[in-house]
Structure formats: structure tokens, C-alpha cells
Amino acid sequence: MITRRTFLRTTSATGLTLAASGLAAPALAQGAKIKLGYVSPQTGPLAGFAESDAFNIEAFLASDMGREFEVIVKDSQSNPNRAAEVAKELILNDEVNLMLAASTPENTNPVAGVCEGEGIPCITTVAPWQPWFIGQQGNPRDPASWKPFDYAFHYFWGMEDVIRVYTAMWNQLETNKAVGGLFPNDADGNAWGDNDNGLRPGLDAAGYALTNPGSFQNLTDDFSAQINAFKAANTDIITGVLIPPDFTTFWNQLRQQGVNPKVVTVAKALLFPQSVETLGAAGHNLSSEVWWTPSHPFASSLTGESSADLAAAFTAKTGRPWTQPIGFVHSLFEVAANVMGRAGDVTDGDAVAEAIAATDLDTIVGKVAWNGAGVPEFAARNVCKTPLTGGQWRMKDGGGYDLVIVENGGATEIPTGGTMEALS
């Protein structure tokens, strides 16, 4: 099969001579715009992650830098196979110069994998780095075989950060340190539940005992096996990484059985105010990791807006409350504009990839620089880490919920708004 990567590196008798011969690839035609491909789960169970896409893309294209770009958006439909399919369409049909993708390994991994195979530079975010990097290795169980990528780059936090945040939150309360884990059979769940690279080693080191009843399929309707296992282990704490519909099902079934843990700290499902509000009063003091809020002390390199400004603009435009992905989707376009402004020939995938690797940019989610800071050597070229805190959802007197930061030990520049409270 002739891929775009093959085409760009082929010389022929017809006189088509490109990068492989040492000559520069052709520059953009006068008046042409730089093409960005963007893949996200705009429909399906992960659609909450893409709620701010249209707002952020419209704001980017209206900015001074954004006028140089065209953004071609594709919906992965929350399906990894579909994500890979539309990524190929963007590369082979739309001939994008740079690929962007966000929102869970189910979306970022297939897009990054296609781009790596096709030789197209790609930047992804909103997925812990371990399921992104390790999940794309030929043999995820053999660290000696892991290799860096040439074209795929990622920024977010890692399992080590979420373990630190979770245990620091739990340490604020009196518990028996028995933890029940909910890990679905998907890229996120398999990574979080992995005995070697997931939560277990860090929880063990912090004195917490994890009960993992085994994986389950997304959109399950029966959590009896997990609930019974948690009862048997007398778990005070429940954690995991669930899509929003599954957490609602689990939480309702747990409460119907009269099980009352002291702490519930769950990733993914508890990121969004809408997901918590559907639980009514039962959402009070549920907790999760927090990657971005209006109180984060960072500003946009594109517009100069503060985090608070960006969140307020989203609410004013849409009438909806701010959500955490707003900052990270905005930051993807910050990074893209910065990279393409430094790449020289934006049609040369190798030049763009090296410009990504050399990034050192202050964004609305913090510093983005692939300098190896805080990550193992095997991932140093491709992974950049951003700050992580922890928070709880608190009911407001007038209705709705506030997300209150209760743990910031790894990112003290981000202010707390309270301390951890047990579930009632």
C-alpha cells in the first residue's frame, strides 16, 4: 500500500524528488493555509470530553495566529476503530500537515498509531501517559522492547501523579486503607488495573490494599460481582476509571445495596459537572483528579486570556458550566500554532516533528516542553507532563455543584479551596 509517508519519500523517473533526496519539500502555495486535523469523541459515551471543541476551535481560528490555519474536524464516535479510520482520511484525503487528538486512550492511541505509521506529526493530550505510550508498544509487557516514537508526541500527567494525588486526599481522612478498584476492559482500565504499571504498586507503597475484582465491558448493566467483592474486602475507599454512564449505574446499584464507603475517587466519570448533577444529592463529596480549573494560574499564549477568562468566555458563549477539557483543548491549538510557527517548511513532517520535540511553551494548562522532565528515559522524547491536583464536588445552596481543590502537593502554585471530607 502506498502511504502518504511512502509518497513523500519517493523519487521517480518522472522527476518527483522530495525530502528523501535532501531537497526541501515544497512550501505552501501563496494564500494556502496550514491544515490541522483534529480527532475527538464528539458523540458516544465519551462525548463530554469534546463539549468545548467547537468553542475552542472557533476562538482559535479567530485569533491572530489562527487565521493562518484550517482545522478539519473528525468525530471518532467514542470508537477506537473509527478514530483510526478518520485519522487515515485526514492524512490521505485531506493531506493535513499536523494531527491533533484528545480525550482518553481510546481516542488518542489509534490516532497516534496511524500517524506514526504514516509519518505524520501528531500531538495528543487528555490521557495518562502510560496507557498512551506503553499501550502503543508492540509488547507492552516487555519494557526492554519499548521504543520512542518519531512522530507522535503527548502531554498530560501519569499514573505516578494520580497515585500521589489520590493517596494524599485519602490520607486526610480516617479509613481502613482498603480500596476497591473498578477497571473496565479498555485502554484506560487495563492500564490503571495493571499489576505492574497501574495503581497497585503505588497504593501498596503508600500502605493501601487494592481489591481488583477483574475487568468488565463498558456500558455494563450489572456491577454485582464488583460490589460483592468490595463488601467482602470491607472497602472504605472505591476508585477506578469509568465512563460516565457506567459510574451512574454502579453508584446507584451500590447505594441500593446499602453500601456506604467513606471515599469514592473515580477518574473520567467524575470530571464533568453534568455527570455529577445527574446523581442529585448523591454526588456530594465525590472526588477525582483535577487537571484544569478557572483558578489555575496560567494564561493562553494565543490570546493572553487567564484560565478564569477562558472558563467565563465558554459559559457566556454556551450557557453551560466550565469543564476541565476546555483548557486542554485550547492548549492543543496553542501548541500547534507555536510548533508550526517554528517548523520552517510545514509540509516536511520530519521538520515539524523536530519542532514539536523542541517546544518550550507556557500555555493555559502550564508549561509544555518535551524535555524529559519527570518521565522515564524510554519515554523522554515523546512525553511531557502537566500539573495535577485533586478535588471534591460540593453541592451549592442554590443548586448545582462546585469543584473544590483539596490537594495540591505536587502543584503548589494551584490554590486549594478546602480539605477532604468523608461521604455522608
pLDDT tens, per residue, the chain with 424 residues: 334 544 343 322 222 222 222 223 335 656 689 999 999 999 999 999 999 999 999 999 999 999 999 999 999 999 999 999 999 999 999 999 999 999 999 999 999 999 999 999 999 999 999 999 999 999 888 999 999 999 999 999 999 999 999 999 999 999 999 999 999 999 889 989 999 889 999 999 999 999 999 999 999 999 999 999 999 999 999 999 999 999 999 999 999 999 999 999 999 999 988 889 989 999 999 999 999 999 999 999 999 999 999 999 999 999 999 999 999 999 999 999 999 999 999 999 999 999 999 999 999 999 999 999 999 999 999 999 999 999 999 998 877 899 999 999 999 999 999 999 999 7
Q: Coil, helix or strand for 226?
A: helix
Q: What is the pLDDT of residue 28?
A: 62
The total of other beta-carbon atoms located within 10 Å of residue 374's CB is: 15
C-alpha triplet 257, 263, 268: angle, nearest 5° = 95
Query: Shortest CA distance to 223 belongs to which of 198, 200, 252?
Result: 252
Instruction: Provide the residue type at 143 as one letter.
Output: P
Give the strand pairing for 287-290 and 389-395: antiparallel
The total of other beta-carbon atoms located within 10 Å of residue 224's CB is: 9
Task: Judge whether 34-157+296-384 and 160-290+388-407 match in fold.
Answer: yes
Residue 247 has phi, psi (to 5 degrees) of -65, -40
Dmax of the chain from CA atoms? Answer: 76
Sheet holding 98-102, edge to edge: 69-75, 34-40, 98-102, 122-125, 152-156, 383-385
Domain map of the chain by residue range? 34-157+296-384, 160-290+388-407
For residue 22, give the DSSP letter. T
Residue 262 has phi, psi (to 5 degrees) of -80, -30
- How far apart are the C-alpha atoms of 402 and 388, rounded to whole Å? 18
Query: Which helix or strand (DSSP H or E) is residue 367 part of?
Result: strand 366-369
Fold observed for domain 160-290+388-407: Rossmann fold (3.40.50)
Q: What is the pLDDT of residue 23?
A: 29
Query: Shortest CA distance to 406 belongs to which of 414, 123, 398?
Result: 414
Instruction: Output the nine-digit C-alpha cell for 50.
Output: 469534546
Q: Coil, helix or strand for 6?
A: helix
DSSP string, 88-143: HHHHHTS--SEEEEESSHHHHHHHHHHHHHHT--EEEESS-HHHHHGGGSS-TT-G
Burial of 219 (0-12, 13-18, 19+ CB in 10 A): exposed
- How far apart are the C-alpha atoms of 308 and 297, rounded to whole Å? 9
Burial of 218 (0-12, 13-18, 19+ CB in 10 A): middle
- How far apart are the C-alpha atoms of 130 and 136, rounded to whole Å? 10
For residue 299, give the DSSP letter. B
What's the CATH number of domain 34-157+296-384, 2.40.30.10, 3.40.50.620, 3.40.50.2300, 3.90.180.10?
A: 3.40.50.2300
- How far apart are the C-alpha atoms of 406 and 384, rounded to whole Å? 24
C-alpha triplet 98, 99, 104: angle, nearest 5° = 155
| Residue 45 · residue 242 · CB < 8 Å | no
Q: What is the chain's alpha carbon radius of gyration, rounded to the nearest angstrom?
A: 22
- How far apart are the C-alpha atoms of 109 and 70, rounded to whole Å? 23
- Say which residue the cell 468553542 belongs to: 55
Q: Coil, helix or strand for 145?
A: helix
Residue 417 has phi, psi (to 5 degrees) of -125, 5
Instruction: Provide the residue type at 174 as one letter.
Output: E
